[in-house]
Every structure is written in structure tokens, then in C-alpha cells.
Amino acid sequence: MCNGIMSEKTRPFPTHVGIIMDGNGRWAKAHGVPRVMGHNAGMQAMKKIVIASSNMGIKYLTVYAFSTENWKRSTEEVSGIFNLIVKYVNSELEELDENNVHINIFGEYDMLPKASIDAIDKMVGRLADNDGLVFNIALNYGGRDEILKSVKAIAEKCKSGELNPAELTEDDISAYLYSGSTKFNVPDPDLIIRTSGEERMSNFLTWQAAYSELMFTDTLWPDFSPEEYAEMINAYANRDRRFGGRKE
């Protein structure tokens, strides 16, 4: 047993965990501080969960950091989130590298401010050869948008004759998603966790989550601890995953 988690050899264990990090704004309101302070507290929680995932032996972790719909928020809040990206890279890059973490970005982050883009490029480049925890950050990401881009790319391949529409498979679509076009082919998530009491997917990993186990907690994201995370991983081990089939 390691950090409250049974060995992967003795119990079902998630290879890939996705997390919808929700509740930063409500945490800030409850503590009487600006919303950006809630996002800062959320960043600290994310750091702890990344470390816990690595320690538990989880191979892939995908977090929902900024959706395509989040642009609707105030300019002040959005700018604060992007500034935190730069802060995160500057403060955590050395430790991420020391822990052999590999980072992918799911989403069109070229729309972000230049300072954020430069920080992300620096981080991704520095960690490119690492092969430990594969940490995927969904940034300016939307599940339907991801599928749409995949379909457009496949349509172009069909138009040029490189692909035959009659022979297309689900694997072909998966290969053109962010998760399928990375250095490490990211498998579909076994478990998706959402904090803050909301119980919906909010356009997160729409294709990949078809058979993911879902867990929800009322805990606001900044208060989500490695201990509660470990409890959820243990609870996952008791789930009966049938993928549309049934036990005989």
C-alpha cells in the first residue's frame, strides 16, 4: 500500500484520471477575497494532486484548466488566470522536471497572451523527453471543438485519398484528437472527478469519456486534498466496469 492506495497488482487501478477543477470562484467568495485569489488557491491544490498522482503511480492525469466557454468571464478574471499560468511555470518547472513529469496541452493555447504562450512553450519543451507522469492540461479546450477539429482533419484526408470514408473506425477519430496525437498516446480516462458539487461534464473529454467512471464531491477545488483524492481512487477499485456488457 502506498499513500492509502492498494497496489495496482492487487486491485483495479486507474491508469488515466481526469479532473474538472471546479469551485475556485465560490471558494474565493466564501473567504471574502477576489476571484483570482481563488484561482491561485486552486493552483496550489493542483500542484498537490499532481504530486499525489505521481506518487500513487497514476500514469496519465488530465485537468480542465480553462474551457472555450470561460472567455465569457470578466477580463480581470481571465487575465488573472493567464498570469497564474506564467507563475505556475516559473515556480514549478524545476520540480516537474526533477519528478520526470511530461506535459501536454489539450486546446488552442495560441489565443492566450504572449507571456502565457511563451511560458507554456518553455514548459512543454523542457519536459518533452520526460516519461513519468503524463500531465495533460486542457487549456482553451472544448470537447465538441476537439471532435470538430478531428472530423475536419479526417475529411481533408478523405478528400486527398489518404483515407477511405467507408473504412473509418473509432480509432481513426481518436487518433486525430489531442489525446491521440501526443508523443504518448493517451488512453481514455478510467475515472473522471468533478469537485464543488456540480454533476455534469461541461464539455470535458466528450469523446474519450464514453465509458469513464464518474465521481463527484461537494468539496471546492482549492480544498480538495490528496487524502480525499486517495479515497476516490480506492472507491474506484470497487466499481464494476462492464463497458456495456454484463457479468455472467
Task: Round to whole Å and give the CA distance between 40 and 22.
Answer: 13
Q: Is 239 exposed, middle or buried (0-12, 13-18, 19+ CB in 10 A)?
A: middle
Q: How far apart are CA 107 and CA 146, in angstroms?
A: 8
| C-alpha triplet 121, 123, 126: angle, nearest 5° | 105
| Nearest alpha-carbon partner for 14 in 133, 173, 153 | 133
Chain CA centroid to CA 114, Å: 23
CA distance 219 to 27: 10
Active-site residue, from 22, 40, 104, 188: 22
Distance CA 216, CA 214 (A): 7
CA distance linking residue 77 with residue 34, whole number of Å: 9
Single out the catalytic residue among 70, 99, 130, 234.
70
Which cell numbers hold the place of 198? 456540480
Catalytic residue list contains 70: yes
CB 5 within 8 A of CB 232: no
CA-based radius of gyration for the chain:
18
223 contacts 46 by C-beta, under 8 angstroms: no
Q: Which three cell numbers stand for residue 117?
A: 504562450
Tell me the catalytic residues.
22, 70
